[in-house]
Structure 1
Amino acid sequence: MSREQLRKAAAKLEDAREHTDDAETDEQLAEYADRLRKMADAEDGPDHGGLARITHNVRELEGDLEASEIEQIVAHVNAYRETVEGV
């Protein structure tokens, strides 16, 4: 169930692509969504470092996405991170 949070974050990234006219931002969103789907489907789940990189990168899109979109994406990733052992 917890990996479902990563799939939800990927879906939110795909939804955000519909609200951007910038080709570079669109490409970044698609890349992050793809990474999250791969993490969700991998036999060994992602570690904190990989998840932190994605949330950092998503937050850097602040001027290109609505703050509420960013927070929803980050919230899903963080919900999954709470289930990962470590840091």
Structure 2
Amino acid sequence: MARAELERASNLLKEAAEAADGDVQERLYEQSDQLAKLATREQGPDHGRLARHMTVLHDLAEALDGDVAETVREARSEVLEYRKGVPGV
């Protein structure tokens, strides 16, 4: 079952990674890859897993500026939207 918000977040992070370089680029690609896997696996991620991704994305956005930072923030918003529908907490 595909999770549209997580797929969008993954795509946005890939786009941001293509505009970044160095360690930040690698971290963005890693987050993109992880979210893509979560979007398509049988069981969806729990709140804790999503919170960890959101923290990393927040930290990355703070370390960046301009359009790349905004793209990361947009990806984080997509994860937040998905998380609102996750049962628990």
With structure 1 as the length reference, what TM-score do the two structures score? 0.89
Amino acid at match of 1:69: T
Give the SS at the match of 1:56. helix
Report how far residue 65 of structure 1 moved. 4.6
Q: Root-mean-square deviation (CA), in Å?
A: 1.7
Q: Which is helix-richer, 1 or 2? A: 2
- Is the 2:7–2:35 Cα contact (8 Å) retained in structure 1? yes
What 5-or-longer segments of structure 1 have no aligned partner?
none
Identity of aligned residues (%): 38
Match of 1:46 in 2: 45
Q: Does structure 1 residue 14 correspond to structure 2 residue 9?
A: no
2:88 alignment partner, SS class: coil
CA distance in 2, matches of 1:3, 1:9: 10
- CA distance in 1 between partners of 2:2 and 2:74 (Å): 16
**Cα distance change, pair 65–47 in 1 and its aligned pair in 2 (3 A):** farther
Which structure would you say has the larger RCO, counting Cα contacts within 8 Å and 6 or more residues apart?
1
Helix, strand or coil for the counterpart of 2:19?
coil
How many residues were matched structurally?
86
TM-score of the pair, normalised by structure 2: 0.87
